Homo-oligomer: A and B are copies of this chain.
Amino acid sequence: MKVQPRTLSGFMELLPREQLIMERIMQTLRETYSSYGFTPLDTPVIEASEVLLAKGGGETEKQIYRFTKGDSDLSLRFDLTVPLAKYVALHYGSLTFPFRRYQIGKVYRGERAQRGRFREFYQADIDIIGDGKLDVTNEAEIPAIIYQTFSRLGLQRFRILVNNRKILNGFYAILNLTEQSGDIMRTVDKLDKIGAEKVAGLLTEELGLSPAAAEKIMQFISINGTNAEVLAELDRYTGKNELFDAGRAELETVVKYLSAFGVPEEYFAVDLTIARGLDYYTGTVYETAMLDHPEIGSICSGGRYDNLAEYYTNKVLPGVGISIGLTRLFYVLNEQKMLNTEAAGASADVLILPMTPDLAPAISLASRLRELGIRVQLYTEKKKFNAKMNYADRQGIPYVIFLGDDEIAAKLVSCKDMATGEQTKLDFDQTYMRIVKGLEQRQSAAVISAQK
């Protein structure tokens, strides 16, 4: 009796060529994050439930994979932030602050299964944690890291949207609407979907604001223009509320260092409608929009918070962080046919087909190429020539080398470029140079391509 093999719904399992691209995306993230001095972190997938759920779960609690093993009450992590808080609180004495870590790991949420929704998915997070204090320049660095990350992946039409919770909270305090500010922000958040007129209507009808207050809010959130223009507009509100002024100063710092950080102005915008749902953000907040795909929502979000680990420790640990929902992003890019399978999805650079019974010369050739950094697969199955070429083709391998008695005697190598069909018979060095040149061209292509 055979068991029907299957993979659980809501669990992404990629075919090899797709997985190669996912791997290259992860490698780009690791390299980019490392280049800013973030260290990798790896925490267990399973934690004690009382530790993981210290904060209480709210909405997420129902989704958590929770079970017992022996007499332990265990849960699978549902994000990478709670494990980070635990880690920093637990290892506080062994860490140096600011502690900059990245973590790319799987998290689990038992959501209702639905196309494009995942129960097991990768998050790719970076956070900078201070001990007691954390300078605002760290908040200015984050958009630079977001910009570098997506640019290196090849994404072109995106924009990093930035706001500051102090500006929002200060503004609502000026209007004496502090208590309703949560509801107001949630309503304003619908702006993209329902338009300004309907938002204004909800503010007066549902939230019971005066028409004057609603107008002031609509006026405020309609502020736009260049970063300098937005800051100038915000200046009209300064001097009325300390929190507002502090937020505006922080925003100015973030904007000021952008060009030094190498972020072109068109990739960045102050957007006063951004609030981020979570209550624990207290300063700069970030979202990242794909300009041609607003329906996808933010592909990288986060912000500044004042107290990472208050459920575990009395230490005050402020931080700033962002998160990419990697599995969902991969899914969307794949759906949009924006993944560059051609350039990134090859299992090897060269397939060697030995044409002699003695494999030693072919094996030596493979070893020599590998030492020079080429990924080489030796194909030794007893198949027809066409089947072998078909194998190279299906695996996306760009070069096939034939090594027969003639070549071995003449110290030459026959090499076919699978893309152009061109076949050469050159010595080792010349063949190697040709392959390296071709690979450089292929590898210069980014993993995300412009939309096809």
Q: Is A443 an interface residue (CB 8 A)?
A: no
Closest to A96 in B: B394
Bound CA–CA A106/B100 (angstroms): 24
Q: Which residues of B contact A47 (CB under 8 A)?
A: 7-8
Q: Which residues of B contact A135 (CB under 8 A)?
A: 380-382
**Copies per complex of this chain:** 2
Q: Given contacts A2-B314, A37-B375, are A46 and B8 in contact (CB under 8 A)?
A: yes
Closest to A50 in B: B3
CB–CB A5/B86 < 8 A: yes
Give A93-133 as 1s and 0s: 1 = Cβ < 8 Å from B's Cβ atoms.
01110111100001010100000000010000000001001
Q: Which residues of B contact A48 (CB under 8 A)?
A: 6, 8
Q: Which residues of B contact A22 (CB under 8 A)?
A: 40, 42
Q: Is A161 an interface residue (CB 8 A)?
A: no
Binding site for B on A (CB under 8 A): 2-8, 11-16, 19-20, 22-23, 30, 34-48, 50-51, 54, 65, 67-70, 72, 74, 85-87, 89-91, 94-96, 98-101, 106, 108, 110, 120, 130, 133-135, 137-138, 141, 144, 148, 256-257, 260-262, 309, 311-314, 347-348, 351, 359-361, 363-364, 367, 370, 373-378, 380-382, 391, 394-395, 397
Other contacts beyond A36-B370, A39-B347, A260-B359: 14, CB < 8 A = A4-B312, A5-B51, A5-B89, A5-B313, A7-B47, A8-B44, A13-B87, A15-B95, A23-B30, A96-B394, A96-B395, A98-B381, A100-B347, A260-B361
